[in-house]
Each structure stands twice: as structure tokens, then as C-alpha cells.
A and B are shown apart, each in its own frame.
Chain A
Amino acid sequence: MLSILEVIRNFKIDIDDQKILRLIGYKKRDYEVKAPIQGLIVEEKERLSQFLKPEAIYTIIDYAQTNRHPIFQGAAKVALCVCTIGPRLEQWVKKLMADGEMMRSLILDAFGSEAVEMVAA
């Protein structure tokens, strides 16, 4: 029997800059980020929403409906979920990289990683 797939689209994506700093390579907290880099982070954060189309689909099924993989052992129900922020951000990251805008590209890529984590959470 097919299970019902639930779709979620209303996500509020609010990303903490500290997480972005960690993702782009800062290994110290409270590090004084140089003005040119901070400027890029602010700019990319401002335009982030235009690249995001967050969606998640999920379904909850009985253990008996699964392939009984050991990972599901002991579970009465199993939830399956797929999350996305859509393709636009990745396309734009690739374009920036191709244009030689490496730092900007890495920052936007980090925002994308964090955004999809927020959708999953």
C-alpha cells in the first residue's frame, strides 16, 4: 500500500553568521574577520533568499513496509524524509566560481549547506 507523502514548504531560514564563519574555514571563535570578507558575507546573506526554494517531503511507514534493513530493527514506524533548497543556489555558486569569484562562491556555498541543514532540522 502506498503511503501518503507530506510536503512542507513554509520554512523560515535564519542563519547564524558564526556557523558560516566556521564552514568557510575559521577555526577560532570571536576572530576579527577582515572587512573585505565580512562585507562579502553581508552581501551574500542579503541576497540569499532569492536562491532558496526550500521543500521537504516525508512519509511515515510501518516497519513491515520497509525492506527490514538492520538499521530499522526495533522500530515500530520509520520516517523517510527528503529535503532540498532547490537548484538555484548551487547553479549560482558554480557561476561565481567560474567567474573567479572564489570567496563569494565559498560563502554562498556555506549558506546553502546551512540552509539545507535548517530545512532538515
Chain B
Amino acid sequence: MERADILTKMKKAVIEGHKEEAENLARQAIQENLDLNEVIEKGYVPGIKKVGELWEEGEYFLPELITSAECMKAAMAVLQPVLSQANIEMRSSGKAVIGTVEGDIHDIGKNLVASLLSANGYEVVDLGADVKLEKFVQTAEAEEADFICLSALLTTTMVNQRKVIEILKERNLSGRFKVLVGGAPVNQRWADDIGADGYAENAMLAVKLVKRVSGK
């Protein structure tokens, strides 16, 4: 198959949510010794970008975003070991540490954001749910992250988003990481009140927010 045909098929597989096809094409790219960074940037990434556009136009909804992100993830799982073995670094748009704050075990929304960020070329360190506040800061420092993304689904736990920002202030780390917040009880006013760098209402808007605050 021609290189251009493979790239077109990769894009189509992501847009249409065909996970197995996305995986098989990744294997084929390896067999045919294609430039794997080019495969990602000209095959899969245009697919996920198109999905984002279709979502903005109201043509796609959350399920399509998720299935397309799963296609990206499946393809990357095939490509990543080969890239690592060849010491080729995958180009990253930035690194985010993400988790649901201490006291809150809800993680579906956080998982969606993590998945869509990853599909859009960000490195994601997912700390899970009920994460100690200190751990967000420690991990962001250790990982040299660009963003700390804090999720909370309860009015009783959203206050912990503020506490993370306070910990950053105490450690003179304000401004080193962009702190982004989300979750059902959270809104822009809350984000402004606690001094967060941004708020997103849903997972796709979170990706847009991350791009915006990082100037990409």
C-alpha cells in the first residue's frame, strides 16, 4: 500500500472510530518501515483534529470523541514500544498531571479528560481518584509538568482544589504550573475565586483550554 494511502486510512479509522483498523494500520506502518513520527503526525493526529472539528460543529458527540481517542490510544500502544526501542522521542504538546482530589472517588469525567488530552498529543500522568493534595504538587514537580488538572464532583471536595493552589503558593510554585479545574459543581466563578488558571465544562473543552493556556 502507498504511504499516502496508509496515512489516509489512519485518519479515516480514527474519524470513524475503528479501533482494530487503527491498530492494524500501526502494525503495517512498522512492517513497512515508515517514519513513525510522520505516521502519527500525518495519519492519526489529523484524524483526531477532524473529530474535534466535527464536535465543535455539532456533528459529533461525546461517544465519537471517546471512540476516536480509544483508536489513538490503541495505535499508540502499538507504535510506542517501537519508538522507545529505537530511542525516538514522541513529540509531546505538554505534560499534564491529573486526578480527582482527596475525598472524592468519582473518576469518569477525569478519565475522559485524561483520555482526550492523551489523544491530542499531551503526556498525561493520571494519579487516579481520591488523590492526596500533596501528591499533585510532588508529582508535578518530579515530572516537570506544565499543567495540574484537578477534578471534583462534590461540593464538599471542590474546596480541595483551592487547597492545592494554596500549597503551590506556600511552596513559591505559583505560576510554575497552570492549574485547571473541572467537575460538576465547579464553574468559572469558582475557578476565578480560587485563582485557578482555567475551568472547562467538559472533556473536549478541557482540551481546548489546555491548548489555549499553553498558547498552542
Q: Are B17 and A25 in contact (CB under 8 A)?
A: no
Is A26 positioned at the interface, with any CB of B under 8 Å from its CB?
Answer: yes
Q: Are A103 and B18 in contact (CB under 8 A)?
A: no
Tell me the complex Cα distance, A7–B67, Å. 41
Known: A36-B16, A36-B18, A102-B115. A109 touches B108 (CB 8 A): yes
Distance in Å from the Cβ of B112 to the closest Cβ of chain A?
Answer: 7
A105 cross-chain contacts in B, Cβ below 8 A: 108
Binds A, one of B27-35, B58-66, B130-138, B208-216: B58-66
Q: Are B112 and A102 in contact (CB under 8 A)?
A: yes
Q: Are A34 and B64 in contact (CB under 8 A)?
A: yes
Distance in Å from the Cβ of A12 to the closest Cβ of chain B?
Answer: 27
Number of interface residues of B (CB under 8 A): 19
Q: Are A100 and B17 in contact (CB under 8 A)?
A: no
Q: Are B73 and A103 in contact (CB under 8 A)?
A: no
Number of interface residues of A (CB under 8 A): 17
B166 cross-chain contacts in A, Cβ below 8 A: none
Is A69 positioned at the interface, with any CB of B under 8 Å from its CB?
Answer: no
Q: Are B73 and A37 in contact (CB under 8 A)?
A: no
Tell me the complex Cα distance, A25–B17, Å. 16
Known: A24-B63, A27-B61, A102-B112. A97 touches B17 (CB 8 A): no
Known: A25-B61, A31-B61, A97-B107. A102 touches B19 (CB 8 A): no
Is B123 positioned at the interface, with any CB of A under 8 Å from its CB?
Answer: no
B157 cross-chain contacts in A, Cβ below 8 A: none
- Partner of B111 from the list A27, A33, A37, A102 (CB cut-off 8 Å) is A102
Q: Are A25 and B63 in contact (CB under 8 A)?
A: yes
- Residue from A27, A34, A103 whose CB has the most chain B CB atoms within 10 Å: A103
A residues lining the B interface (CB < 8 Å)? 24-28, 31, 33-34, 36-37, 97, 100, 102-103, 105-106, 109
B residues lining the A interface (CB < 8 Å)? 16-19, 58, 61-64, 66-67, 69-70, 73, 107-108, 111-112, 115
